[in-house]
Amino acid sequence: MNVRCTRCGAAADPLRICACGGLPEFAAPSTRIDAAGLKRLLRERRASYEPLFASGVWRLRELLPPIAAEHVISLREGNVPVYASAAGARFCGADRVSYLHLGMNPTGSFKDLGMTVAISAAHALGARAVVCASTGNTASSMAAYAARAGMRAYALVPRGKVSAVKLAQMRDYGATLIEVEGSFDDAFAKLGEIEGAVLVNSINAYRIEGQKCAAFALLDERSWRVPDWVLLPGGNLGNISAFAKGFREARELGLIDRLPRLALVRAQRGVDTCASAIAVADPKSLERAHRELERFGGIELALDDAEIFAAKAAIGREGIGCEPASAASLAGAKALRERGDITRDHDVVCVLTGHVLKDARAYDNAA
The site for ligand F0G (CB under 6 A) is made up of 109, 134-138, 184, 202, 233-239, 277-278, 280, 323, 325-326, 353-354
Rg value, the chain, Cα:
19
**Closest approach of ligand F0G to the CB of residue 277, in Å:** 3
Nearer to ligand F0G among residue 235 and residue 260 (C-beta): 235
Q: Please, what is the minimum distance in Å from the beta carbon of residue 325 to ligand F0G? A: 4
Q: Where would I find the beta strands (DSSP E) of the chain?
A: 3-5, 24-26, 82-84, 96-101, 129-133, 152-158, 176-180, 198-199, 229-233, 261-267, 299-303, 347-352
Q: Cβ distance 277 to 240 under 8 Å?
A: no
Phi, psi of 62 (to 5 degrees): -65, -20
Instruction: In angstroms, give the least distance from the CB of 365 to ligand F0G.
Output: 18
Question: Closest CB to ligand F0G among 42 and 235?
Answer: 235
In the Cβ-directed half-sphere of 353, how many Cα atoms lie within 13 Å?
A: 31
Minimum distance from residue 237 beta carbon to ligand F0G (Å): 5
Nearer Cβ to ligand F0G, position 121 or 237? 237
Q: Nearer Cβ to ligand F0G, position 237 or 331?
A: 237
Beta carbon nearer to ligand F0G, 53 or 216: 216
Residue 43 CB, nearest approach to ligand F0G (Å): 29
66-98 residues labelled b (16+ CB within 10 A) or e (exposed): ebeeeebbbbbbbbbeebebebbbebbebebbb
How many other CB atoms are there within 10 angstroms of residue 165's CB atom? Answer: 16
- Cβ 339 to ligand F0G shortest distance, Å: 22
Secondary structure (3-state) at 304: coil
Nearest-10 Cα torsion for 242, 248, 254, 258: 120
Three-state DSSP class for residue 1: coil
Nearer to ligand F0G, 39 or 138 (CB): 138
Cα torsion 38, 104, 347, 279 to 10°: value is: -120
In whole angstroms, how close is the CB of 340 to ligand F0G at the nearest point?
A: 26
Q: CA 12 to CA 31: how far, in whole Å? A: 22
The SS3 assignment for 58 reads: helix
Beta carbon nearer to ligand F0G, 55 or 138:
138
